Chain A
Amino acid sequence: MTDTNMTAMTQTAAAPSAKATLPPAVRFRFWAWLWGDKRALISLAYLSVLVLAAIFAPLIVPYAPNKQNLMDLLAPPSGAHWLGTDDLGRDTLSRLIYGSYNALYAASLAVGIGVAIGVPLGVFIGFVGGWVDQVGSRIIDGVLAFPPLVLAVAVTGALGIGLTNAMIAVGFAFAPVLARTMRAQTLVVKNALYVEAAVGFGASRLHLILRHILPNAIQPVIVEVTLMLAVALLAEAGLSFLSLGVQPPESSWGGMLARAYHYVEVAPEQMYAPGFAILFTALAFNTLGESIRVLLDPTIKRR
């Protein structure tokens, strides 16, 4: 997230005509901001730990995630199994850690697809304008009218069940949201004086879009994308709960909740860990998104 943020800033600084007087120590400011905004700091720290856990899952898990121990089914938390075991005797903590990989992969994939479709579409129709904008905007409205998860379930059913297809479907539902924001921003930016100046210097359309419009219009999208990661995470959990997403025996937080729900009367404690994992991660993305919003828009008062 911060990476895109940084790239956007450096690109602007590199562009000869636009905003030539950015403070030189952009990188330094980032750390100062993070230190000044404790909520962002905590969220980012939590997410970093989660990313590391997801990457190094095979090294840190106490048990193999699919190793069944039929002598120890639905065990309560103990020294051997910190979070207990599930209905097949698999270690809950290990599955939770492996689940973080699927959760983060799913969220990035869905949002990535939304960005890949939505951002170019929004810039294009906003930049070209006229009937292209008219038609494009109606298409955006039409897809936006769907309840996102209903669309995702339907598209997943068509593409075939499984995590990747489910997240393509969610990304498909995200695309019009981003396109709408990007279009509105492009309309604002394209009439700015520095764009006119660049046109006067004979800049090509591609140069205008890539060097002037995109870097200056992308800011609200950065905020939206961060918030969307939370939505995508919740969607993955939900779709996996419905067994449309991650397929067994692979672990996912939503799938773990589905199994735990079956045995809720026997082992109610099994439903807490995955639920809190989803809640905290979604909360971290949301908090980070709000912090970035405040950072990028100085007119919003810090709450």
Chain B
Amino acid sequence: MMYGVPGMVAQRLLQLVPVMIVATFVVFSLVYMMPGDPAMMIAGDYATAERIAEIRHIYGFDRPMLVQYFFWLGNAVQGDLGHSLFSNESVLRLILSRLPHTVLLVLYALVLGAALGVPLGILAATRQGTTLDKVITSVASLGVAVPNFWLGIILVTLFSLGYRWFPATGAVSLFEKPLEALYYATLPAVALSTGVVAVLARQVRSALLEVLGSQYIRTLRAKGLGSGAILWKHGLRNVAATMLTIAGLQVNRLFSSAVIIEAVFAIPGVGNLISYSALNKDFPVVQGVALVLVLVVILTNLLVDVLNATFDPRVAAST
């Protein structure tokens, strides 16, 4: 099928349908993982019989599971994710007010990770086998093993409590004071970015080594092309797709780690929201956050595919 980029997007969207169905079903069935009667669990220890009956009705526990699922999905598609069991606030509104903090954090960490990881990978690949290469690969191993939230605590101790360069906790709205928001998000983003730095450095290194060792690069060398031109014009161009794909996959992990980083820095994002709600059994909120984040991840991966197809016509042609 040769419909170019739009055709490829259409095909990918179609492939996403079953993935979406599974993901939404997992989110929906969370309520069923609760031991005992979910309505009683949600209502809490001191709920009256009427309250339990009411919750049973709100959730539709009195109907067959599949019927409930489609009912729930229908509401979710219309943006009705229910209400918080504690504040009675609309879950969607709650999430939308907090999502920008988390997205800013994740994007910031991604940019930092790329800005550091890609050059490190290039350095290691072009100086393969040297001490510098070994140092970079060792630092990369540390980067995946370090607990991000611990690094966050250390950064707070050093740069907020010690030098007082950065605020220790809190966040500022990106829409009201963009620069201040970035300033507040700097330490958490640094703490969050280590995994991206490490993974990008490793992958760029090995992908670049593979390209640089290939036949056509050898031909270019034989033709007398300088190593700088080879690296920038041919090497990196072929590694770009790898970088983009890896960066896309990292978004998933960044949202994971953000849950804990937000607790360390008291950032009112969705990560903090889901852990607080999970502790307090505020189930509609837990489900809502899980649903929104899985959608964000799925759409990010779609975006990466589209970008790859736009830059590399072979990708679009191969689907």
Measuring CB to CB, which residues of chain A are less than 8 angstroms from any residue of chain B? 138-139, 141-143, 145-151, 153-161, 230, 234, 237-238, 241-244, 254, 257, 260-261, 264-265, 268, 271, 274-275, 278-279, 282-283, 286-287, 303
Contact = CB atoms under 8 A, between A and B. Distances in A.
Given A143-B22, A286-B141, A154 B290 contact: yes
A244 B279 CA distance: 7
B141 A264 contact: no
Given A141-B22, A146-B252, A303-B137, 11 more contacts: A138-B19, A138-B21, A143-B23, A147-B294, A149-B260, A154-B278, A157-B279, A158-B33, A160-B35, A238-B257, A241-B263
A264 B21 CA distance: 45
Contact of B145 (A254, A261, A265, A283): A283
Given A264-B156, A286-B141, A287-B141, A143 B26 contact: yes
A230 B137 CA distance: 18
Interface in B254-299: 254-257, 259-260, 263-264, 271, 274-275, 277-279, 281, 283, 286-287, 289-290, 293-294, 297-298
Contacts of A156: 278
A283 B22 CA distance: 34
Contacts of B31: 158
A156 B298 CA distance: 23
A147 B256 contact: yes
Contact of A238 (B144, B147, B253): B147
Contacts of B254: 147
Contacts of B20: 142
A154 B291 CA distance: 10
Residue of A146, A230, A237 contacting most chain B CB atoms (<10 Å): A146
A275 B256 contact: no
Contact of A158 (B22, B34, B156): B34
B147 A142 contact: no
Contacts of A278: 147, 150
Residue of B19, B26, B145 contacting most chain A CB atoms (<10 Å): B145
A145 B297 CA distance: 7
Interface in B7-63: 18-23, 25-27, 30-31, 33-35
Nearest to A39: B141
A154 B147 contact: no
A271 B158 CA distance: 13
B294 A145 contact: yes
A148 B281 CA distance: 19
B146 A146 contact: no
Contact of B21 (A142, A159, A234): A142
A263 to B, nearest CB: 11
Given A153-B259, A242-B259, A242-B263, A271 B19 contact: no
Contacts of A157: 30, 277-279, 281, 283, 286
B137 A147 contact: no
7 contacts: A142-B19, A142-B22, A146-B294, A238-B149, A268-B157, A279-B145, A286-B144
Task: List the 3 shortest-distance A-B pairs measured between CB atoms, nearest first.
Answer: A142-B22, A157-B278, A149-B256
A279 B277 CA distance: 29
B304 to A, nearest CB: 13
A192 B188 CA distance: 50
B30 A241 contact: no
Contact of A159 (B35, B253, B259, B274): B35
Contacts of B35: 159-160
Given A141-B22, A146-B290, A153-B259, A265 B161 contact: yes
